[in-house]
């Protein structure tokens, strides 16, 4: 959902600015777009950490094939912590950026652009904090939004594989459960690889600009910033598709919802039987967040019935 917000709001603003050299929504977009983009990095980072912890619990659970179903309130609480924490860490971006105007040396037209410069109207204590954030922004990006999710995911996967290998020697688990665990681990690894590939150029550019910005022209800096933003848009576009393709239960549920909406959810017998079958498949399948217990098959019908 946050990836959708990035593509729905930030992408049109960036494209409009590149075409017209005018900032859509003015100073508001200069503050909101970086805030949403950094919040997107935080949401992805903490979500990958949460999924890594869930996979670790799945590997260390004494009865991994029959873990209790996690309550909806617990999942909502975790998502709230991830979202609120990401947005809180991104608040300095609102105070750091502001709209500026300059005359283009090539065309002579007045252009609008966003500059990283705290407003002098801020209180002195807030102004000093924003300046501290600006000076540490590059390494904060690199440490929290790049190293943390990758190292956390790799560490959880190594520990999970070591524990799984030890348990395989002591006891033999079901083939379906092993395949399910491996499939979920591959899903998290795929999401981490996409995230790492899409955020690497931005971190490299931030480090290069931090040490070579006096020797670089404004056009070069604007081009690097544009490339970084489109890598973020690419990540937001690919991540949901990758998740739907790798996580089969989630992809099947998504296709069932799309088919249900296209058919108008007609309450005929065929659709009711199809919905019952889809519900049974969804309940029998595993989730990306937790492993549902394998339910016993439905009881056989009594003899003598029409079936």
pLDDT of residue 88: 92
pLDDT of residue 272: 46
Sign of dihedral through CA atoms 201, 206, 212, 216? positive
More confident residue, 94 or 251: 94
pLDDT tens digits for range 166-209: 655 555 545 666 667 777 778 888 888 889 898 888 888 888 87
Confidence of residue 280 (pLDDT cuts 50, 70, 90): very low
**Under 8 Å CB-to-CB from 33, ≥6 apart: which residues?**
9, 10, 13, 14, 114
Q: Which residue, 150, 135, 137, 136, is CA-closest to 200?
A: 150
Extended beta strands in 200-255, E state: none
pLDDT of residue 106: 63
User: 60-74, 249-263, 285-299: which range is least confident on average?
Assistant: 285-299
d(CA 225, CA 247): 33
Q: Which residue has the tokens 């079936």?
A: 307
Query: 280 is written with which tokens?
Result: 């049974």
Average pLDDT of the chain to the nearest whole number: 76
More confident residue, 304 or 159: 159
pLDDT tens digits for range 129-165: 888 888 888 888 898 899 999 988 888 888 877 776 6
pLDDT of residue 285: 47
Does 271 score more than 50 pLDDT? no
Q: 257 in the Ramachandran plot: left (φ > 0), alpha (ψ -120 to 50) or beta?
A: alpha
pLDDT tens digits for range 62-93: 655 556 677 888 888 989 999 999 999 999 98
d(CA 53, CA 290): 11
Domain annotation for the chain: domains and CATH numbers: 1-60+70-261 (1.20.1070.10)
Task: For residue 192, give Cα distances in angstroms to 37, 60, 150, 227.
Answer: 18, 22, 7, 20
pLDDT of residue 286: 45
pLDDT of residue 127: 87
Highest mean pLDDT among 54-58, 161-165, 231-235, 274-278: 231-235
pLDDT of residue 43: 92
pLDDT of residue 65: 54
d(CA 98, CA 89): 19
Confidence of residue 123 (pLDDT cuts 50, 70, 90): confident
Task: For residue 249, give Cα distances in angstroms to 47, 55, 279.
Answer: 19, 17, 11
Q: Phi, psi (5° rounding) for residue 31?
A: -95, -35
d(CA 229, CA 224): 9
pLDDT of residue 273: 47
pLDDT of residue 166: 62
């Amino acid at each position: 959902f946050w990836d959708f917000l990035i593509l729905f709001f930030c992408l049109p603003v960036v494209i409009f600015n590149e075409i017209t050299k005018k900032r859509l929504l003015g100073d508001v977009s200069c503050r909101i777009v970086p805030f949403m983009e950094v919040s997107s990095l935080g949401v992805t980072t903490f979500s990958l950490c949460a999924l890594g912890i869930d996979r670790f619990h799945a590997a260390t659970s004494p009865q991994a094939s029959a873990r209790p179903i996690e309550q909806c309130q617990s999942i909502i609480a975790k998502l709230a912590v991830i979202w609120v924490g990401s947005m809180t860490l991104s608040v300095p971006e609102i105070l750091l950026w502001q709209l500026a105007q300059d005359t283009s040396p090539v065309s002579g037209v007045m252009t609008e652009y966003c500059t990283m410069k705290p407003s002098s109207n801020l209180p002195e204590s807030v102004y000093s904090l924003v300046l501290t954030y600006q000076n540490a922004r590059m390494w904060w990006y690199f440490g929290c939004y790049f190293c943390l999710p990758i190292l956390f995911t790799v560490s959880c996967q190594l520990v999970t594989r070591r524990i799984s290998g030890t348990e395989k020697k002591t006891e033999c688990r079901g083939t379906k459960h092993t395949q399910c665990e491996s499939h979920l681990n591959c899903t998290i690894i795929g999401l981490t690889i996409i995230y790492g590939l899409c955020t690497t150029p931005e971190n490299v550019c931030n480090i290069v600009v931090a040490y070579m910005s006096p020797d670089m022209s404004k056009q070069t800096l604007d081009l690097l910033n544009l490339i970084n933003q489109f890598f973020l848009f690419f990540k937001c576009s690919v991540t949901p598709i990758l998740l739907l393709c790798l996580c089969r239960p989630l992809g099947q549920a998504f296709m069932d919802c799309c088919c249900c909406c296209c058919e108008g959810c007609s309450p005929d017998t065929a659709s009711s039987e199809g919905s019952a079958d889809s519900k049974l498949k969804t309940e029998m399948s595993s989730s990306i967040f937790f492993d549902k217990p394998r339910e016993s098959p439905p009881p056989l019908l009594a003899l003598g019935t029409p079936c």
